[in-house]
Amino acid sequence: MRRHLGFVALLALGVVTGCKDSKPTGSAVEPEGSGGGDDGTGDDGTGDEGTDDGTDDGGDEGGEDVSYAFEDRGDVVPFEDEEGTALIDLSDQTGDESNKDNEFLLVLINTSTTAYGYELRYTEAPEDTDTGGGGAAGPAGPLAVASPAAPAALSPGRARLREARRTGRLGPATPPAAPPPPYGASDIGSARRQFQVRDSIEDDDSSEPVDATLWAVGSYVDIWVDDGWPINFDADCDGTPERIHPAGAFGFDNCDLALIADAIDANIHPTMSTVFGDVPDVNGDGKVTVVITPNLNQMTTFLDEEDDSYGEVVRSYVDPEVDLNDFDASDNPNSNEQEIIFVFAPDESGAVNPAARTSVDSYTEVELLAEVARGYQRLISYKYHVIDTGNEDGETTWVQEGLSALAADLTGFGSVYYDDVWDYLDAPHITPLVDESDLEVINTDQWGAQYLFFRWLYEHADDLATLGQDSEGGAGDTGGGSGLTGEQLVAQLVQSSDVGTDNITNITGLSMEELVLYWQVSMATAGREKSDGSALVSEDEWPPYDAATTVTAPTSSPSAGDLYGANGYQQGINLAGVNTFMEGGFTDGGTAENVERRVTTSGLDLSTMVTGFNYFGYVAANYGTQVTRLSDIPYDEGALLVDALGSGYIGVVVRLEDPASPDYIVENIFSSTDATDVSLQALPADGTPIRALGAIQDKGASFIRTADGEEELAPVYDTDRFLLDLTDRAASETVKISVHLERRYVDRSGTVGPSDPWLSVVPKNLVPHPTVSTINSSSCSGHPITFAYPSSVTEHLYYQLFLSSDAVGTDFQSEEEEGDSGATDGGGTGGEGGGEASTDFDPCGTLPDDDTGAATTLDCTNDFDLDGVPDALEALPSTFLQQVQVMQCNAYGRGGFVPVGSEIIDTDHIDEDEDSYFDRAANLGGLFGEDGEEAYLETELTGGAEYLIVVGAGDDTGPYELTVTQLND
């Protein structure tokens, strides 16, 4: 039986699922007069004849009422919430397969203006319901466009400027009667002038005068450099500068800027004019001024390390509201009265901003031209949205920044945004797409989401009409856009009098909900295939990103419109593959990759849901997205219940290829005193990751019993152990692995836990494995203390056998403090050391000495492990690192080993910052929550042995997902 989902609103999305007899349905935007008569179109164009038969009720002659259900791999079922709840039927409609053997991909998008959390649960599929994709109580209402966020408050100076413009006291600047005299080659290195430059991120009224010298002249650009910044002068560009700056310019000279001017003339200016529109010219000189100044580098130098902008450079800014309007001492005192782009300086040594160095090569061959393209877009946008229309406000922030990133890409220099792309794909659930607030002149935010969105729109502009089309009539011939080319779409977006989401929906003919849904599915399914090698989902119905291309452009004598300067550079984005940052695009055959800037992606990052663990999510407002792999379904006919603390979410569930065997293991040991190892799946040698899911639970307890009869209840903190078995590898083989722990949400309020987890990889024999059968007083006849692991132990056994949840000691205590700390919160109630490098801690304990009064005859009653060290003199480790060192002594004997150090502890835990480790080139690491760190470790192991991955979290708790990958060069 095929269950009818009754999902009226999302039927209008025009989505086709994998059901073999399903067809596209009507557009969400119905053209006027397209009601759909008997033949589904309406003969008279008014729609009167088709009101009964061609509307969403699925009439006989109008569009078919599609039933969304799963029958095959790659099937797609859309859903939206009903007052915060949705129920999605996962059962196989053919009745041939059990959901226990299936996996699915959930893509959930928050369309509301408020971030909120949700919970996922597996349930048995409902019988004969009408709710399969539309919520728990029947069909949901129509999709609603999210309300715009409240605009950000303007600074006093900018508010005065806008008020002056509104009242007519200050209008758009008019060109002077005669343009200023043009600069020529003779002015290079000699012409000087003063510019007013912003010097603060926060205060947009704060500026300072900058003296600059002209260093390059083009047909459409003059390039100036702050006199406070070193640059060499090479008059004939023969490689031997006539003037070498005493401060050291690292090869930065006027010849670099001459090439930049040529690239602007041949590439940036004509490409931007053709695709985006006309450049304004308020001062009548026909040029754009570029000013290179370290003022921008310095803006973030002294920010606190906790500030989101620390370590980021203000790469450029354009302030047309100021600079394209007349100077006024009261209302517009910072105007330069011209089209001007301010760009950061190449700071190879970190002389201005040590946290953000930029090489001269990267700067002159990629970065500077990318920022000029970005600035051009801002100037062009201001012309159409403000100067030509008389509107007070320009384009919204997110649209402006997305189109600016696209401008850099279309001119060949989009690789500067690939870092932002990786960061967005790594954590799309914490990043909004839409920001309707006024455009900030200066920001260091990341715009990966916005670049990706507009790149997708550009590539699929001609598909938008068919995405919204109803093949059966009832909604007109073209429910979506008008089949524009990418260039036409961009031009209309920039040159329209509308802004923000209204502008996009008016031009594309699709709602933001529809556009974002298609866009997000293209990223969530990127690189995913069926077993026959075909794409997981239909590419006709869910258009994917185009593969990136390589620019071919002349390296000399360019013509207008050539992508000069970008020869050999990547254009576009590989959503599941390698993205290269190329340099040397001006030279013939000299293009080379800057490998340090390589970015490898694999679509949207995801988390895994399994039975037995609470699964919580939390999604940013304004089209934040979370992707979840649905695994370990316990029912033959299952369903997924989504229960959120807010409403206004949409999404899809995609059926994945059925796994041959699970690639994950679940750590579900309840007791914190249980020392059982959980075996991971076999590690694939080809780099395919394996996973583990676990949770650090609340602490347990054990009794410490002493010889004098005292008994003390001591905490035992939860630590997890995962066995990585490499005995199938040759003993001569070196196996390099990465282990990445990502935290998860602990509730629906957005709390991520644990806050500071750690992990370690050590040989199995160096981790204590106490057992009930051997660690008890009855195993030693005549032992003076009665104990039985795990409920009670002697003092030294407590410290040596129960794994400490403290990895290396609190905050790496100084040598003066080490040895005096005793146990930390993670290690118990006593001890002789703390911290990695303690010189006082002896992992082998103290040998008996006549002066100590220790017994000279040792047996199991006073030396339980018969290692020659009396129980009273055994080492009392307080950290996991010290416990491993104790095990080293047990294994190799006193003097037979070198104590391990912090190299066995993950990078995030031992470094000094609070940032999660990541490697964009290798596509490793990353973050999950906005605050706190994950845990990441790369290490080399030897084949033929067993290893344990140990996870701890101090005294914190929470769920996590562990990924283990073999790294191959």
pLDDT tens digits, 795-836: 999 999 999 999 998 644 333 333 333 332 333 323 333 334
The count of other CB atoms within 10 Å of the CB of residue 13 is 26
pLDDT at residue 775 tops 90: yes
Q: How far apart are CA 92 and CA 131, in angstroms?
A: 16
Q: Which amino acid is at 931?
A: D
Torsion-angle region of residue 828: left (phi > 0), alpha (psi -120 to 50) or beta?
Answer: left
440 closest CA partner among 318, 298, 339: 318
- Could you tell me what percent of the chain has a pLDDT over 90? 72
Confidence class for position 475, pLDDT limits 50, 70, 90: very low
pLDDT at residue 360 tops 70: yes
Whether the CB-CB separation of 451 and 405 falls below 8 Å is answered with: yes
Whether the CB-CB separation of 428 and 604 falls below 8 Å is answered with: yes
pLDDT at residue 140 tops 90: no
pLDDT score recorded for residue 8: 32
pLDDT score recorded for residue 479: 41
Confidence class for position 64, pLDDT limits 50, 70, 90: very low
Ramachandran angles phi, psi of 14, nearest 5°: 70, 25
Rg of the chain on CA atoms, in Å: 33
Q: Poorest-confidence range of 347-351, 381-385, 896-900? A: 347-351
Q: How far apart are CA 923 and CA 684, in angstroms?
A: 17
pLDDT score recorded for residue 163: 60
pLDDT at residue 581 tops 70: yes
Confidence class for position 306, pLDDT limits 50, 70, 90: low
Whether the CB-CB separation of 593 and 571 falls below 8 Å is answered with: no
Q: Poorest-confidence range of 459-463, 730-734, 851-855? A: 851-855
Q: Poorest-confidence range of 178-182, 487-491, 591-595, 703-707? A: 178-182
Confidence class for position 443, pLDDT limits 50, 70, 90: confident
The single residue listed with the structure tokens 């003022």 is 295
Strand 664-666 with 76-80, pairing: unpaired
Tens-digit pLDDT profile for residues 19-53: 333 322 222 223 233 333 333 333 333 333 333 33
The count of other CB atoms within 10 Å of the CB of residue 43 is 11
What SS3 class is residue 937?
Answer: strand
Q: How far apart are CA 393 and CA 243, in angstroms?
A: 46
Tens-digit pLDDT profile for residues 278-292: 999 999 999 999 999
* Letter string b/e over residues 720-749, b meaning 16 or more CB atoms within 10 A of that residue's CB: bbbebbbeebeeeeebebbbbbbbbbbebe
644 closest CA partner among 676, 612, 621, 669: 621
Q: How far apart are CA 124 and CA 618, in angstroms?
A: 24
Which is more confidently placed, 152 or 815?
152
Confidence class for position 787, pLDDT limits 50, 70, 90: very high
Write the burial class of residue 140 (CB in 10 Å: 0-12 exposed, 13-18 middle, 19+ buried). Answer: buried
pLDDT score recorded for residue 708: 83
Whether the CB-CB separation of 54 and 64 falls below 8 Å is answered with: no
pLDDT score recorded for residue 833: 34
Q: Poorest-confidence range of 107-111, 472-476, 501-505, 779-783? A: 472-476
pLDDT at residue 149 tops 90: no
Q: Poorest-confidence range of 9-23, 590-604, 904-918? A: 9-23
Mean pLDDT of all residues in 452-481 = 69
pLDDT score recorded for residue 966: 98
Which is more confidently placed, 827 or 321?
321
pLDDT score recorded for residue 392: 82
pLDDT at residue 402 tops 90: yes
- Please state the pTM of the whole predicted model: 0.88
Mean pLDDT of all residues in 101-105 = 97
Sign, CA torsion 886/892/895/898 = negative
Q: Poorest-confidence range of 410-424, 809-823, 839-853? A: 809-823
Mean pLDDT of all residues in 204-208 = 88
Which is more confidently placed, 482 or 140?
482
Q: What is the mean pLDDT of the chain?
A: 85
What distance, in Å, lies between the first and last C-alpha atoms of the chain?
A: 51
pLDDT at residue 9 tops 50: no
pLDDT score recorded for residue 746: 97
Q: How far apart are CA 238 and CA 136, in angstroms?
A: 75
Whether the CB-CB separation of 554 and 561 falls below 8 Å is answered with: no
Confidence class for position 166, pLDDT limits 50, 70, 90: low
- Total number of residues shown for the chain: 969
Whether the CB-CB separation of 28 and 514 falls below 8 Å is answered with: yes
Token pair belonging to 567: 């020869």
Which is more confidently placed, 349 or 47?
349
231 closest CA partner among 244, 216, 217, 218: 244
Whether the CB-CB separation of 355 and 383 falls below 8 Å is answered with: no
pLDDT at residue 218 tops 60: yes
Tens-digit pLDDT profile for residues 77-100: 999 999 999 999 999 998 889 999
